[in-house]
Amino acid sequence: MKKNWFLLRIGHTSANTEALENIKDAIQSYLETVEDLSKNKNSRYIEVG
């Protein structure tokens, strides 16, 4: 529970909110690139565990 409180508290400052948005944008861009590079490729998903 403390961990969630800490994350919520970080999100309230302007600089941290901007940093989180930048991280979100970077991840989205990465996922789009992976999707583009994976087109017309054979791929498999396996579950381990």
**Domains of the chain: which residue ranges?**
2-37
11 pLDDT band, cuts 50/70/90, is low
Neighbours of 20 (CB within 10 A): 13
Sign of the CA dihedral running 17, 24, 26, 3: positive
Sign of the CA dihedral running 28, 29, 34, 37: positive
The pLDDT of residue 10: 54
The pLDDT of residue 16: 77
Mean pLDDT across the chain = 77
The pLDDT of residue 35: 87
Residues 6+ apart with CB under 8 A from 16: 10
2 pLDDT exceeds 50?
A: no
| pLDDT tens column, 13-36 | 777 788 888 999 999 999 899 888
